[in-house]
Each structure stands twice: as structure tokens, then as C-alpha cells.
Amino acid sequence: MRAKRSLGQNFLVDPNIQRKIVDAVEPESADTVVEIGPGHGALTDALAARATRLVAVELDDDLAAALRARFADARGVTIVHGDVLTWDPAAVLGRGTVRVVGNIPYNITSPILFRLLQWRPLPERIILMVQREVADRLAAPPGDREYGAMTVGVRAVADVERLFHVGRGAFRPVPNVDSTVLRIAPRPEAWAGAGGRLRSLTRAAFGLRRKQLQKILRTAPGYGLSREEAETVLAEVGLRPEDRPEVLDPPAFIELAAALERRGFPRAEGPDS
Ligand code: SAM
């Protein structure tokens, strides 16, 4: 198997892990399963056997062509030759529920994840293989060293669970990192409080993670509240001026971002403008 590093190609060759991943998807008959980066099809055959509809999105020209040939006669299987970061799922997905699975290129983990969380229909379950450190960051509790903007951004809108670890020996070529399979369950009702304003706030806050919240709200780009304004807005959502960002759980961030937005923050010069 020749692998293109630029496309993050590390193919999963351990049949036991392949089976465990497909089991974690648990496709039901109303589901469309979307596989990201099927590669040589390590998961694709088993997924096609279990899902009523399978859509597999592969960027690599040669691999996409080989998959198209291989699944040409398979009912309910669509191979999309394209980039998952720009692909519009609405073109293929119907009204039914969507489950996503992928052993993805690690260099684009975060863009893929945030993109999936913006899909409509919102996937009801996402099974992703990620680098172990990324899994630790996503699962970290408030106060943990690994807890940061990515943790809050994802957990504000989804539940994240580490399912099992995968050693580097399960891949060819052997990567220089270990992996973890995650189950991510987006919460549709969480969306009212999320979005750009949350991202601005978490970036500002974790950019100054050792500082107190009142200081951050006074000095971070796009914020610049007066001391009184900062104290008032923090009190309004039950926070103390001296709290630090790393102790706030995702709902607290959502509330604070909403309270700030009601006062017109972040201002236009903010990081997201
Ligand atoms: N699923 C296969 C497996 O488990 O053996 C391949 C996994 S490999 C880590 C990642 C796959 O994603 C490769 O096939 C690569 O070509 C594909 N890929 C890379 N970037 C992509 C993108 N932006 N959109 C879709 N597929 C991509």
C-alpha cells in the first residue's frame, strides 16, 4: 500500500479494531452512514454490509476511482470523490438520521470536527479515530491542563466519550502517534447558545488562560469592557471576577458569551470580525 503523507494516509490493518469501529457506529435502518476518508476500504465493506445507505467521501483520485469500481454494483453505496471540508452533505443526505464514521487525516482533525458539527442534518452520532492527545483534550474536565478552547467549542454542542485506544501498530505505515476512537453525540438543543460568539470568547479566554476573567474581559481584543461592566456581566451569569477560564464548564461559557453579546461584545475589531 503506497501512502500519501500529504493526505494523512495511515491505513488501518487490524481487523479487530476495524470490527470494533463498525460496531460502534451501530447503523439502524433509517440511518445514512457517511464515511470520511475510506482509503482502501478498511471499514467500508463492513459498513456497506450493515448500513442501508452508505456515502463514502474520499479525496484521493486513485483511491476514489478504485472504490467507485469496487462498489459499482453495490446497492445503497455512493462514493463521493471530494474534500470533506467543502463537501455539502445536503446534496446527498435526505431527511433521515445521519451517522458519521472515519479514520481521518490527523492534520485536519479540528476543521473536520467543527465542520461536522455544522452539518444539516446534524449527525446524531460521530465515531472518529483521532490522535490520543486530541481525545484527551476533547474529554478533559474543567480545571485540567488539557481543557481549552477546542474542548469547550466541541462540548458546548456535543457529548464526547472515549471508546477505546488504538496502538500505532494497527496502521500501515506505522504513524508516530497513538490513537483513540471517540463517540461524539451532537446535542441539537445546544445550538441556540453556541456559534461564533462562543468561539470568540473561548479564543480570547484561553489565549489568556492564567488571567482572571475580569482582566480578560477588559483587555482581550474585541472586548475591552470597563471594570464595572466586566464585573456586572460576570455577576449576571453567576461568575466571580477572579475566576479563571479553565474552571468554567461549557454551559458557563455559553451563558457568558450570550450575556456579552447582549451588550454588543465582541466589538467589530474582535478576532472573528
Ligand atoms: N479509512 C481508511 C483506513 O482506515 O484504512 C483510510 C484512513 S487514512 C488515515 C485517511 C483517509 O482520508 C485517506 O484515504 C485519505 O486519502 C483521505 N482524505 C484525506 N484528506 C481528505 C479530505 N479532505 N476529504 C476526504 N478524504 C480525505
Averaged pLDDT of the chain: 93
Least confident of 15-19, 74-78, 91-95, 158-162: 91-95
**Mean local confidence (pLDDT), 108-126:** 93
Secondary-structure percent of the chain, ordered helix, strand, coil, rounded to 5? 40, 20, 40
Q: Count CA within 13 A, CB hemisphere, residue 46.
A: 15
Give the integer Cα–Cα distance in Å for 242 and 207: 16
Segment 158-216, tens digit of pLDDT = 999 999 999 999 999 999 999 999 999 999 876 655 667 898 999 999 999 999 999 99
Contact 184, 129 (CB under 8 A): no
How far does residue 78's CA lie from ligand 1's centre (Å)?
A: 16
DSSP letters for 183-230 = EEEE-GGGGGG-SHHHHHHHHHHHHTTTS-HHHHHHHSTTT---HHHH
Give the integer Cα–Cα distance in Å for 13 and 184: 24
Q: Where are the beta strands (DSSP E) in 59-178?
A: 77-81, 98-103, 125-131, 158-166, 171-172
Model confidence at 273, pLDDT cuts 50, 70, 90, reads very low
Question: What is the atom index within ligand 1 of the atom nearest the CA of 44?
Answer: 1
How far does residue 143's CA lie from ligand 1's centre (Å)?
A: 34
Whose Cα sits closest to atom 23 in ligand 1?
Answer: 83
**Mean local confidence (pLDDT), 218-241:** 97
**Mean local confidence (pLDDT), 78-95:** 90
Give the integer Cα–Cα distance in Å for 72 and 104: 24
Percentage of the chain lying above the pLDDT 70 cut = 96
How far does residue 58's CA lie from ligand 1's centre (Å)?
A: 6
How far does residue 105's CA lie from ligand 1's centre (Å)?
A: 6
Give the model's pLDDT for residue 218: 97
93, pLDDT greater than 90 = no
How far does residue 182's CA lie from ligand 1's centre (Å)?
A: 17
pTM of the model as a whole: 0.92
SS3 105: coil
Ligand 1 first shell, C-beta below 6 A = 7-12, 36-40, 42-43, 57-60, 63, 83-85, 103-105
Q: What angle do CA 68, 53, 50 make, to 5 degrees?
A: 100
Give the model's pLDDT for residue 100: 98
Return the C-alpha cell found at 50.
450493515
Out of 4, 70, 103, mutate this one to test ligand 1's pocket (max ligand atoms within 8 Å of CB): namely 103
Whose Cα sits closest to atom 14 in ligand 1?
Answer: 39
Out of 59, 88, 100, 109, mutate this one to test ligand 1's pocket (max ligand atoms within 8 Å of CB): namely 59
